[in-house]
Amino acid sequence: MVSKQKILIVDDDNNIAELISLYLTKECFECRIVNDGEEALKVLDTFQPDLILLDLMLPGMDGYQVCREVRHKSNLPIIMLSAKGEVFDKVLGLELGADDYIIKPFDSKELVARVKAVLRRFQPAVSPTAASAMTNGKYVEYPDLIINQTNYSVTYKGEIVDMPPKELELLYFLASSPNQVFTREQLLDHIWGYEYIGDTRTVDVHIKRLREKIKDHANWSISTVWGIGYKFEVRS
């Protein structure tokens, strides 16, 4: 029997949390509801969710703080929920490591679609026992860098790099077309697609996070093409 994927719902509005749980339970997810950030962090190890739906406005520790704490120790997918639709709030959430951001009120079908989309892209990194494990399936390879989109893993200088799904997809997409320039709009459309209505600064946030994890190499780098967008630059 296939085990159900588990969703941790963190929202201090119990009516909304129960409604979300109802939608997701109908789609065969196992849900657990907690009403504050401290409780969310406590149940992570025992419940072991596959994804967190995290409300921004929580009593005590807010959603930003919870996201930061989770990211310190885990690559677990996080979707932020908020009535605050300002670009600043979205960008801050993404900078702290959220994988998506949904504005309340939301349509139940959209919520379920986004949860499924994020989970579809995410597969926990498995420590390879041999180099061959990193080069099975769909991957690109450069000196000191292997990006494998089949098992969602990135190896940089022989070390596994923790990377949320969207960051990995963005890196893979750029590295798959070396020296080709892509506009922010092209990247937003390809990586986030129809299901994401967002600001192009979302791309900038993810590029910034990639550069913090994958430093420029003598043979390659993630380069900014001013006034246009980005490219994965390969030097001979």
Q: For residues 12 and 112, state if they share a domain.
A: yes
What is the pTM (predicted TM-score) of this model? 0.59
Q: For residues 115 and 153, state if they share a domain.
A: no
CATH number at residue 142: 1.10.10.10
In a domain, 126, yes or no: no
Q: For residues 162 and 216, state if they share a domain.
A: yes
Q: How many domains is the chain partitioned into structurally?
A: 2
Least confident stretch, 82-91, 119-128, 129-138, 148-157: 129-138
First to last CA, the chain: 51
Q: For residues 112 and 212, state if they share a domain.
A: no
| Domain span holding position 77 | 6-121
Q: For residues 37 and 102, state if they share a domain.
A: yes
pLDDT over 70, % of the chain? 88
pLDDT of residue 9: 95
